[in-house]
Amino acid sequence: MSRKPSGELRRGWTTGTCATAATKAALLRLWGGAFPAEVSITLPKGETPVFALAQKDVGAGWAEVGIIKDAGDDPDVTHGAMIKVRVQASAGGVVFKAGEGVGTVTKAGLPIAVGEPAINPVPRAMMDEVVAEVAGEMGATPDIEITVSVPGGAEIAKKTWNPRLGITGGLSILGTTGVVRPFSCAAWIASIHRGIDVARADGLTHVAGCTGATSERVVQALHGLPDHAMLDMGDFVGGMIKYLRRHPVDRLTIGGGIGKLTKLAQGASDLHSGRSQVDFGALAMWTGDTRLRDANTALEAFEIVGPAMANAVATRAAAQAMALFADGGLPKVIEIVVIDRAGQILAQVERAT
């Protein structure tokens, strides 16, 4: 995750919120005859943000509005993207379509069926409510086709987890509360959950959670795992295991650098540097080498002691991972792979449960 700026952080709005606001503004033109100067919607928790219309267009039987997504101070890859919605009459009910830059679901395990546009359930419900609201105000029949597009979305999607999750052709239209909370862990953990769901739906029995790109590359090559077996765990080993307790797999590999996995070995379930630290006194006790009390990093400790220290970390990390499964869902095998910054394996420990 990007470095968090100091001071009070500004919240933003999800792609689902922007699409809902654009839908309302376009419907007001389609059924009411005029675009509003600005548009307000009600979010699931009762907030009523107001949005400017960045783009508007109209044709025979359709109207279209674009709204610029403002993610606040969150380092969101969709910040500044144009979220466009075109509305036109449908044969019956509300129909959702994927326009340019919005993906299509191709793998089972996601909350949207295979073949459907990647517009998540809460944004769909928000747009359904707006259709009913505006139809009631205008005396219109709420049979409408909603096409959501994000110009440039296919390129932006390459920076997201969508390709791995089987969402092809563009972005997902997301949101549960409608609000982007800066540097929130919730979105990352939700992506881990979706990764587990997709892997299980495809029948995979071995998944791997890694702390970063280098450890992921090493673990994937080590076991020949497909992309959708690789979970973007980052620092959230606890969040990953919590979900795996309820959605179990047979084999779990956890890979990472020696610093992150030392913190797991010492009982941390969140490996972020701001929320857990290496205990060098414990490392000294594990290895019997008092020099480690004065080490600055886990990698320096490894350089002092050598493989014995990495093996001690891997063994204890495996035990801690097993302990996090205390409420159930324990895999048949838990494996720990410790690497250095160059991607060399320093230790590999496997525990059958």
Asked whether 207 and 243 are in contact (CB, 8 A), the reply is no
Distance CA 251, CA 189 (A): 20
End-to-end CA distance of the chain: 33
Asked whether 16 and 83 are in contact (CB, 8 A), the reply is no
Asked whether 332 and 353 are in contact (CB, 8 A), the reply is yes
Distance CA 168, CA 209 (A): 23
Distance CA 178, CA 155 (A): 24
What tokens appear for 50 in the block? Answer: 């107001």
b/e per residue 316-335 (b: at least 16 CB within 10 A): bbbbbbbebbeeebbbebbb
* Ramachandran area for residue 343 (φ above 0: left; ψ -120 to 50: alpha; else beta): left
The CA–CA distances, whole Å, from 86 to 23, 132, 136, 281, 340 equal 7, 17, 20, 62, 50
SS3 87: strand
Question: What is the pTM for the complete model shown?
Answer: 0.82
Residues 6+ away with beta carbon under 8 Å from 145: 87, 88, 89, 90, 94, 95, 96, 97
Residue whose entry in the numeric block shows the structure tokens 């009459």:
89
Distance from CA of residue 280 to its chain's centroid?
Answer: 33
Distance CA 103, CA 105 (A): 7
Going residue by residue through the chain, which has 353 residues, state the pLDDT in tens, using 9 for 90 and above. Answer: 444 445 567 788 999 999 999 999 999 999 999 999 999 999 988 999 999 999 999 999 999 999 999 988 776 889 999 999 999 999 889 999 999 999 999 999 999 999 999 999 999 999 999 999 999 999 999 999 999 999 999 999 998 889 989 999 999 998 888 887 755 677 789 889 999 999 999 999 999 999 998 999 999 999 999 999 999 899 999 999 999 999 999 999 999 999 999 999 999 999 987 788 999 999 999 999 999 999 999 989 999 999 999 999 999 999 999 999 988 999 999 999 999 988 999 999 999 98
